[in-house]
Amino acid sequence: MPLDALPGLLQATYWPGGRVPSEGHLAWWGTADPGAAAVAIGLPPGEPAELPGVLPASARARRRVVPAPIPARVVPVQSAVRALAALPPRSGLPRWPPPSDSLLAWSLAAKLVLEYVCAGHLVPALRPAGPGRGIASWRLAAEDGRLAALAEAMPAAAHALVRDDDQEAVWAADELLAVFGDAVADACARRAGTVSPGGSWPDRFVAAPDR
């Protein structure tokens, strides 16, 4: 990929994946060395990956985008959300290179979602996984409108991710924020849970994704 196709500033995008929501990742991308750019502002460097994203068709075609494998660094959601939540506001970050809007958007999302989780706004979920089996997880339950408002303000780079179920479409901001919230809720619940076989039903639900 030509480097001039990249934005030139460190970007952030949530990348869902895995059997349970907490197995998703945050992807850093947008520069020739996103790992170094992340470390420079206090984020973990992550592991190399290719993000199935979209970019401008050319340096001049800013309004036309095409699917493109983007060099990225990925960090498990549990580690990434802590680092994003710890980032200061724009005024506390280096002025050059300036923080991208997508990075600031996901930092705000991390802070909001952790606030909801700490307030207990999470519910259990179970999805089918074959005859007589299901995959247990935790979902975020937040309805005060702040995540919806953030989704409306999210820059395109924050959700410039091609969907697995439709290679012609990218994730909508509100949908990607919703699965991110579920991932953080699931990760926090599992970290707080116990794997004791003699524990209560809620404890065993937290600990075991496959029931």
Q: Who has greater pLDDT, 56 or 148?
A: 148
Reported as a pLDDT band with limits 50, 70 and 90, residue 195 is: very low
Q: pLDDT digit string (tens) for 56-91?
A: 765 555 556 788 899 999 999 999 999 999 999 888
Average pLDDT score over residue span 39-53: 95
Q: What is the mean pLDDT of the chain?
A: 85
Report whether pLDDT(105) > 60.
yes
The pLDDT-based confidence of 199 (bands split at 50, 70, 90) is: low
Residue 154, pLDDT above cutoff 50: yes
User: Distance (Å, rounded) from C-alpha 129 to C-alpha 127?
Assistant: 7
Give the mean model confidence (pLDDT) for residues 84-113: 92
Q: What percent of the chain has pLDDT over 90?
A: 58
Find the mean pLDDT for residues 25-46: 95
Pairing status of strand 162-163 against strand 166-170: antiparallel
Residue 203 pLDDT level (bands cut at 50, 70, 90): low
pLDDT at 29 over 70: yes
pLDDT for residue 123 is more than 60: yes
User: Against a cut of 0.75, is the pTM above it?
Assistant: yes
User: In this structure, are residues 205 and 136 in contact, taking their beta carbons and an 8 Å threshold?
Assistant: yes
Look at residue 146 and tell me whether its pLDDT is greater than 90: yes
Q: Is a pLDDT exceeding 60 seen at residue 147?
A: yes
Percent of the chain with pLDDT over 70: 83
Token couple for 21: 């929501």
Q: Residue 206's pLDDT is what?
A: 55
Lowest mean pLDDT segment, chosen from 14-18, 41-45, 125-129, 150-154:
125-129
